[in-house]
Amino acid sequence: MPWEGRVTLVSGLVLVLLLVAFVFMTILNTYRLMEQLEQISEHPFRVLDSASILQNDLERIQFYTERLQYNNDPDMVAEVREQIETIYLEVEEHLQIVEERYLGEHSEVAALREQLERLKTANEQLFQYAAAEERSESEIVAFTQQEITSSQAEMEEILSGIMDYARDRFDYYYSAAGDIRTEGTIFVILITAAVVAVLNFYRTRIRRQTREILRQNRLFDLLGRTVDTVFFISSPRSGREDYISPNAERILGVPVEQLMKDPYVLRPYITEKERESIAAALKDGGESCWKSTVCYRHPHTGEDRDLLIQVYRVSGGEKEDEPQYITVFTDETQLLRTQRELEEATARAEQASRAKSEFLSRMSHEIRTPMNGIIGMTLIALQKSDDREKVVECLRKISMSSKHLLVLINDVLDMSKIESGKLELKREPFDLRRLLEGVADLAYGQAAQREITFGMQLVGDMDEQLIGDSLRVNQILMNLLSNALKFTPRGGKVALRVELLESNVQTQQIRFEVQDTGCGIAEENFGKIFETFEQESAGVAHQYGGTGLGLAICKRFVEMMGGRIGLSSTLGKGSTFFVHIPFQRVESAGTPPREEYRQLRALVADDDLESCEHIALLLRKLGARCDWVDNGYEALARVERARDESDPYGLVLVDWKMPFLDGVETARRLHGEAPETAVVLITAFDEDEVREKAKNVGARDVLNKPVFESALVDLLDRLWSERGAFPAREEGPADYDFRDKCILIVEDNDLNREIAVELLGPSGARLETACDGQEAVERFAASRPGHYDLILMDVQMPRMDGYAATRAIRAMERPDGKCIPILAMTANAFSEDVEKSREAGMNGHISKPIDLAEVYRTLSAALGGGM
């Protein structure tokens, strides 16, 4: 094996070994990381979780035992004992987890178990002590501090030590995982660097060998392409072929090996008469030089080719008197074809010369007309130099004539470049949105001057960033639109429709369609109008002017881009010109769906169904849900129905010009009925005029037609930044105003009472509090009638619970006692608890933990008389 080959092989093996090492270390580090995570989840994490629950259970035990300080009757003692026994079951479960998972000294867990048993014993003694006879609060407190507090404090201290150790182990394992990650990262970087180095070396070697092979192949390929002559050297007496050139198969379609065995395999592909002539020429003693052109049918392609056959007889075989023949086959098909094409081209040139003569005649008239205007207006301006208004008018007409003349000259120059082959198309990224908006701006202006309605429509999900010659596309569209506007009378319509026909990973085929309601074109002239220097008729040139180059230039540009151009037309009704152009896609084209858009539900209202479908397509592509309707009344109904279904529209796009109920009035009504919905007007007209009207009716923004994906994204981003989100906001304090209301909050737990006050504070209501049911009854009885508008009543409270307090208020001899709304606040959310609240005289039920939106809705309904 050569030295270069060995080097390439070694570098390839090294590359494979490095990749194997990379995969092995990646798997190993992953396994080690998972091992650390498993240690964390199975030991420190579980210990911390269970120890935290044990701490909470100790607090709960302390809470329940403290209740005996206020009420130590046998029923209360039995209830507390039952609740604490339940807690001990949970304590036992989590203590076992700590014993199994704790990685520290077992003596700590044993001490924790010992203290738990002491606490159980002390609690049981407390129950017996409290139930033996009536005990005062001070007696129970003294017994609790003496028998229970120390055990609880000892357990809490041990738990704190266990949790501290578990946290230390957690940090240790997490740190170890970080070290593994760092080691793995360093190894990956080193392996990657080594792979890149070896790969570059390997690619360099391969590239060098490939260049050498390609150089040799190019040389052989060049010889094979340039030589179109086949040589045969034969000895007829011996019946053999001495030599056949290697290009025989390419020219004649028969392998060299087969020809060496039997050269007569060519006979079936030559006519009988020509075969006889060749045979006579090859006879011994025949002519020393013979040639003829024959028709040869290629055996593979079936194509007829013109072969020049030349036969030369020479001496020099194995025997002195044995002649040899050199037969030369030359493929003259292309030569003869070129001759015929030259003859046809000559005929076409003569015809083109006549057309150019007619064109020059028209051109002379077309150029002289604006030139005459320029010269004439210049003379008039010089004569009327003291009349400022007249001079300004002359200069304006000179400017118009100059622009017209410039268009004529540009057309001639473009056609000249095309004819000479000097015009080259660019292949560079361009912005389709910017191109079409520029075309639309110019077309709108020209249409407005001629009192013609112009519109543009997009159909399909086409990329905005494409690769092509935007300048020539712009020129094509402006030529087609200028023609449409020129041949359309006042009051007519011209429309540009852009549709995506085909799309794949690499290209997008786009159809540009220009429709007008002009004079139309006769069918027999469809092909003629695309020819250079041609117009439909002399009458068209006389009535409308023009050089006849515009459509010819469009056709050449479209063909150079790999597309096609065509038309359909009806005399007296109008024409439709269409252009299909393939564009290369930009890799980063398009906008992927964004998570925030998935929250958006949108509605499109437009009497143009294609506009509705196009905008809906773009919104769904971005991830939003979208519906569409074709009138304003249906839009109002849809928005109302969506709100009733609790699935409101966050965005409504309304076309400015719609029959029956226009966009402005629709937007005004939507803003009044659904102010939380963002309403945006869509317009194909003067944006400033529409924007002012949109502002007056409460619309958030204005969107121009045609609607592009990027314009839609910009709109959504603006609205998102203003509103924070599109869907209807969740109800909260900002949606309610209770400033003239007074609410009494009855809650025995200090923390819960503070939470209720903080949550209801933003509503503006006056808030008063009571610590239990007895105090609530006393405060209500002492207040003037109507002072309180609503009472939030906790159910489980000392001295007097919420049910008893409600019954006491309802029994009072005052009018507001019977009708004041009283809402229960309790963690018991079973149906029997709700029913029990209603039986006690309460109007509603609020479950803990509190759902803020639900609380405000319930309060609003109660204060509004809805309960």
For residue 341, give the 3-state DSSP assignment: helix
- Answer yes or no: do 778 and 831 share one domain: yes
Exposure string of 470-495, with b = 16+ CB inside 10 Å and e = fewer, is bebbbbbbbbbbbbbbebbeeebbbb
- In 438-540 the beta strands, taken as DSSP E runs, fall at 453-459, 465-468, 493-503, 507-516
Q: Which range of residues forms the domain containing residue 323?
A: 229-331
Cis peptide before 706 (omega within 30 of 0): yes
794/359: higher pLDDT: 794
CATH code of the domain covering residue 472: 3.30.565.10
- Answer yes or no: do 186 and 317 share one domain: no
For residue 50 the two structure tokens come to 């269970």
pLDDT in tens, 802-840: 999 999 999 998 888 889 999 988 766 555 667 788 888
The reply to whether 590 falls in a domain is no
Q: Among 309, 331, 353, where does a domain finish?
A: 331
For residue 319, give the 3-state DSSP assignment: coil
Statement: residue 411 has pLDDT above 70: no
The reply to whether 113 falls in a domain is yes
- Answer yes or no: do 413 and 494 share one domain: no
Which helix (H) or strand (E) covers residue 230, if one does?
strand 229-235
DSSP 259-301: HHH-GGGGGGGS-HHHHHHHHHHHSTTS-SEEEEEEEEE-TTT
CA 543/CA 406 separation, integer angstroms: 21
- Answer yes or no: do 10 and 148 share one domain: yes
528/780: higher pLDDT: 780
- Answer yes or no: do 276 and 171 share one domain: no
pLDDT score for 536: 44
Statement: residue 754 has pLDDT above 80: yes
- Answer yes or no: do 529 and 551 share one domain: yes
- Answer yes or no: do 221 and 155 share one domain: yes
CATH code of the domain covering residue 264: 3.30.450.20
pLDDT score for 605: 92
Highest mean pLDDT among 89-98, 229-238, 404-413, 793-802: 793-802
Statement: residue 231 has pLDDT above 50: yes
- Answer yes or no: do 111 and 152 share one domain: yes
The reply to whether 781 falls in a domain is yes
CATH code of the domain covering residue 375: 1.10.287.130
Nearest to 528 by CA among 355, 654, 691: 355
**Phi-psi label, residue 156: left if phi above 0, alpha if psi -120 to 50, beta otherwise:** alpha
For residue 569, give the 3-state DSSP assignment: strand
CA 374/CA 402 separation, integer angstroms: 7
Q: At what angle do helices 687-697 and 663-673 cross, to 10 degrees?
A: 30
For the chain, what is the domain count?
6
The reply to whether 728 falls in a domain is no
Statement: residue 778 has pLDDT above 60: yes
> How far from chain centre, in Å, is Cα 347?
56
Please, are residues 290 and 281 in contact by the beta-carbon 8 Å criterion? yes
Nearest to 544 by CA among 425, 717, 366: 366
CATH code of the domain covering residue 627: 3.40.50.2300
Nearest to 816 by CA among 766, 764, 781: 781
Nearest to 568 by CA among 516, 531, 532, 610: 516
- CA distance readout (Å), 32 to 25, 184, 191: 10, 10, 19
- In 412-482 the beta strands, taken as DSSP E runs, fall at 428-431, 453-459, 465-468
Rounded mean pLDDT, 212-225? 59
The reply to whether 59 falls in a domain is yes
- Answer yes or no: do 718 and 686 share one domain: yes
Rounded mean pLDDT, 354-371? 63
- Answer yes or no: do 799 and 825 share one domain: yes
Q: What is the pTM of this model?
A: 0.41
Q: Is the dihedral of CA 76, 82, 86, 92 positive or negative?
A: positive
pLDDT score for 866: 44
- Answer yes or no: do 221 and 87 share one domain: yes
Q: Among 702, 723, 744, where does a domain finish?
A: 723
The reply to whether 811 falls in a domain is yes
- Answer yes or no: do 763 and 698 share one domain: no
Q: Among 560, 585, 610, where does a domain finish?
A: 585
